[in-house]
Amino acid sequence: MAAVISAGMLSGCSGNNLPKIEISSLADIASLKIGVQSGTTGEGIAKENSSDPDNNVKGYRSGMDAALALKAGNIDCIIIDELPAESIVAENDTFTIFDPGLEAEEYAIAVRKEDTALLEQINASLEKIKQGDTYNTLLDTIASGKWKELEDKSANNTDVIKMGTNAEFPPFEFLDGTDVVGFDIAMCREIAADNGKKLEITNMAFDGLIMALQSGNIDMIAAGMTITEERLQEVSFSDTYFNSKQVIIYRK
């Protein structure tokens, strides 16, 4: 997914003479400066495994911002989801990935707790997508960089459903020029079309998504969002559509 990261953004940074760090277990990050995307499960894992979370866990708007900080030597490592990590490392041969063997996480679509009818519609559409060829077709098309070939089947509908996302999470959501693209966007367009609606996308900070949902500014969230007990207190989640895990990026 090299095309989803701005060419040269990482290669142009300093950091070639920084000290080497070896990470072979979660215990090795206890005293390190850890970068995370704010509001993610990676942030929680970082705080749980840091000896000084108030000072050593640094929150960033996106994984790319954290990667730039890692390249510059402002942090020592990043905790982030596996596929975005692979996109970042593909753009910088001085980075590597360590898999600490953490429990798998499940991505799902979030809606307001009272929107039970919408949740049922999303789950029914998700089932259709996963049972046929659509799921793998969307995933393969995004992964091969051919997202422009995907048709927005929802575009001609009149009724709108508003989806909130954070376009800093390739291959699930990212920017192609000014367009928000990615697997979550393609999947939610299928869901919207299946229910006779047009998908409208709002791009915002990840840690503001649930607040925007609860305030009624958006109708659902699709942003590679993991189901957690804490989030279940605030929103309802659809059936899961992808399994992932948290990994650690550090300088070789």
Q: What is this structure's pTM?
A: 0.87
Q: Helix, strand or coil for residue 104?
A: coil
Q: Are residues 94 and 125 in the same domain?
A: no
Q: Are residues 173 and 77 in the same domain?
A: no
pLDDT at 11: 52
Q: What share of residues in the chain are helix, strand, coil (percent, to 5)?
A: 35, 20, 40
pLDDT at 2: 32
Q: Helix, strand or coil for residue 175?
A: strand
Q: Are residues 158 and 210 in the same domain?
A: yes
Helical H segments across the chain, by residue range: 41-49, 53-56, 63-72, 82-90, 116-131, 134-143, 183-194, 209-214, 229-232
Instruction: Give the structural domain span for 123.
Output: 109-225
- Domain-ending residue, one of 103, 120, 151: 103
**Are 82 and 247 a contacting pair, CB within 8 Å?**
yes
pLDDT at 7: 36
From CA 134, how far away is CA 137, in angstroms rounded?
5
Q: Are residues 17 and 116 in the same domain?
A: no
From CA 47, how far away is CA 210, in angstroms rounded?
21
pLDDT by residue, tens only, the chain of 252 residues: 333 334 344 555 545 577 778 999 999 999 999 999 999 999 999 999 999 999 999 999 999 999 999 999 999 999 999 999 999 999 899 999 999 999 999 999 999 999 999 999 999 999 999 998 999 999 999 989 999 999 999 999 999 999 999 999 999 999 999 999 999 999 999 999 999 999 999 999 999 999 999 999 999 999 999 999 999 999 999 999 999 999 999 998
**Are 195 and 125 a contacting pair, CB within 8 Å?**
yes
Number of residues in the chain: 252
Greatest alpha-carbon span in the chain: 57
pLDDT at 3: 32
Query: For the chain, how big is the Rg over CA atoms in Å?
Result: 18
pLDDT at 33: 98
Element (H or E) spanning 87, and its range? Answer: helix 82-90
Q: Are residues 85 and 188 in the same domain?
A: no
Q: Are residues 114 and 221 in the same domain?
A: yes
User: At 111, which amino acid appears?
Assistant: V
Q: Are residues 80 and 164 in the same domain?
A: no
**Residue 46, number of CB atoms within 10 A of its CB:** 28
Q: Are residues 65 and 90 in the same domain?
A: yes
Q: How many domains does the chain have?
A: 2
**Are 107 and 165 a contacting pair, CB within 8 Å?**
no
Q: Helix, strand or coil for residue 34?
A: strand
